[in-house]
Amino acid sequence: MAYSKLELKVGFTVFIAGLILIVGLMWFQGFKMEKDYYEIYAVFPQVGGINPGDKVNVNGVEKGTVKRVSLREKDVMVVMDIEKSMKLPEDSRIMLQTVGIMGARVVTIVMGKSTRMLEPGAVIQGRYDPGISEAIASLGSMMEELRSLTDNLEEIMGTFNENGRLRRTLDNLTEISTQLKSTIEVNAPKIDRSINSFQSSAQRVDSMLDKNSTMLDSIITSVNAASRDLPTLVKNIDAVTRNLNEITNGLKSDSTTAGAILSDREFLDKLERTLKNLDELLVDIKANPGRYMKVEIF
């Protein structure tokens, strides 16, 4: 049976449309020939809306897609299919970034410089960059804090402004500033003279130090020498102190003659009476010398 040209055209058109539909469905469902891709795993604290089929860019060029997203106990595992022709160094970095004003998420890989490449199935720790939605949420929180701060400032200003206290405080500050300015203007010559006098004194001190630098150096040298001799002096004083301690201990001890004499109370009393009698005898001899000495002239 012969087919008309119209039927052939319609059939060919339907075939092409079906082929396009199948290819499109395969593409939208992330269909890929296994031999053309290898898997890389990335771990993120959160993914912010990444879904299977989303693009994976390597240095800004699309080189793969997200295959699977798995929620774990403390993080999220993202499985990516990377083209086999794309070799990734071991020090490559993986980030989740926002592209476009709609806040679409994309996996971005920044290639490293290592000569060693990632093996299929390698696991990389990823980094999550907050997007526009997170920034807006953070901005809302900041606005709330700013509003609270503004309310507090208004309350403080209201407290200060109660009964005109703020105005009086400002007036007092203005008056103090005016008085201070007037005082400085009145005493400006005295202040200038004081500064000049101080500068002159400083110059005289510098001149005095320059003239007596030799004597100062000599004094410093003498002080240094004395400080070097100080340990020897301390050592000698320590030796004298030990000797005095030994003498004192000997006088206190009954085993030495001096110690025995000093500790014998009866002996000391007799010695005291003898010295007293001797003193009285000397006084009587001076008063009555004839009683003790008799001179005869032949």
Give me the mean pLDDT over the 210-214 stretch. 75
Give me the mean pLDDT over the 192-216 stretch. 77
Which of 106, 135, 164 finishes a domain?
135
Helix (H) / strand (E) element for 234: namely helix 213-252
Q: Can you tell me the distance from the alpha carbon of 151 to that of 62, in angstroms, rounded to the nearest whole number?
A: 50
The answer as to whether 57 is a domain residue is yes
pLDDT grade for 134, boundaries at 50, 70 and 90:
low
Residue 1 has pLDDT above 50, yes or no: no
Which of 135, 162, 197 finishes a domain?
135
Q: What pLDDT, on a 0 to 100 scale, did the predictor assign at position 159? A: 63
The answer as to whether 154 is a domain residue is no
The answer as to whether 212 is a domain residue is no
Please state, for a pLDDT cut of 70, what percent of the chain lies above it.
67
Q: Can you tell me the distance from the alpha carbon of 139 to that of 145, in angstroms, rounded to the nearest whole number?
A: 10
pLDDT, the chain, mean: 75
Can you point out the beta strands (E) in the chain? 37-44, 55-58, 61-71, 76-83, 93-99, 104-110, 123-125, 127-128
Judged on CB neighbours under 10 Å (0-12, 13-18, 19+), 180 is exposed
Which of 91, 112, 135 finishes a domain?
135
**What is the DSSP track for 251-289?**
HH-TTSHHHHHHH-HHHHHHHHHHHHHHHHHHHHHHH-G
Number of domains into which the chain is organized: 2
Q: What pLDDT, on a 0 to 100 scale, did the predictor assign at position 12? A: 75
Residue 81, number of CB atoms within 10 A of its CB:
21
Q: What pLDDT, on a 0 to 100 scale, did the predictor assign at position 254? A: 63
The answer as to whether 129 is a domain residue is yes
The answer as to whether 285 is a domain residue is yes
The answer as to whether 181 is a domain residue is no
The answer as to whether 104 is a domain residue is yes
The answer as to whether 74 is a domain residue is yes
Q: CA torsion 79→84→87→90, rounded to 10°? A: 30
Q: What is the residue range of 112's domain?
A: 32-135
